[in-house]
Amino acid sequence: MLIRRENSADAAAIRAVHTAAFAKTAQPGQVPVEVGLVDALRAGDAWLPELSLVAERDGEVVGHVVCTRGHVAETPVLALGPIGVPPELQGQGIGAALMHAVLGAADALGEPMVVLLGHLDYYPMFGFEPAEKYGITPPVPDWASHFQVRTLVTYRPSIRGEFRYAKPFMEL
Ligand SMILES: CC(C)(COP(=O)(O)OP(=O)(O)OC[C@H]1O[C@@H](n2cnc3c(N)ncnc32)[C@H](O)[C@@H]1OP(=O)(O)O)[C@@H](O)C(=O)NCCC(=O)NCCS
């Protein structure tokens, strides 16, 4: 398996990955919202091409993760998501490979922190901790229990306050 940056030919395969990965959470017969979210993010100014990564196996895209620009108060940080692997390929380490690669890339780029809303039994494996511990609050107070941050080497404790996602997230 390879982990590499998304290229201009990957958009349809990425849509297919998220359509399959999030099918269970979508309304019956509807395309999952994550599919349109990735397209809207890619078309907007929060998109960071360095941090849209695919997993490729035997020439097929088998997973995707993206980090986009968000802010804690006025400080630029990263939002992670969506991440998706089709159900029949889950549990083989593809998601973990994408997580390690995107976090390593974010750290190498000098980003201070990655923020996400997600499972409490999955993301702590990659060093995510409750955002509350770092004085970072979600844009929607009800999200607090699942709102997590992963600090990177340039993190500073002065990065505190309310997190803001890129606009397409708030239009879901
Ligand atoms: C979350 C997701 C990307 C993980 O991908 P994956 O390729 O299945 O993950 P891995 O095989 O690398 O799993 C790594 C570990 O996490 C565990 N794990 C996987 N998904 C999990 C979940 N949803 N909750 C808890 N643990 C999970 C695996 O059991 C594995 O543990 P192990 O190494 O001890 O066996 C994938 O399950 C997925 O696409 N889910 C649907 C979409 C989704 O919910 N995305 C996240 C929200 S944006």
CATH value at residue 99: 3.40.630.30
Ligand 1 centroid to Cα of residue 83, in Å, is 9
Q: Which residues constitute the domain of residue 44? A: 2-170
Q: Are 68 and 40 in contact (CB under 8 A)?
A: no
The domain tally of the chain equals 1
User: How many secondary structure helices (H) and strands (E) does the chain include?
Assistant: 4, 9
Residue type, 163: F
Q: What is the pLDDT of residue 25?
A: 93
Averaged pLDDT in 10-residue chunks for the chain of 172 residues: 97 98 93 97 98 98 98 97 98 98 98 97 97 97 97 98 96 86
Distance CA 22, CA 82 (A): 10
Residues 58-70, buried b or exposed e (16+ Cβ, 10 A)?
Answer: eeebbbbbbbbbb
Distance CA 15, CA 25 (A): 15
Q: What is the pLDDT of residue 114?
A: 98
First to last CA, the chain: 32
Q: Are 66 and 38 in contact (CB under 8 A)?
A: yes
Residue to substitute in 17, 25, 122 for testing ligand 1 pocket (most ligand atoms within 8 angstroms of CB): 122
Ligand 1 centroid to Cα of residue 121, in Å, is 9
Residue to substitute in 85, 94, 120 for testing ligand 1 pocket (most ligand atoms within 8 angstroms of CB): 85
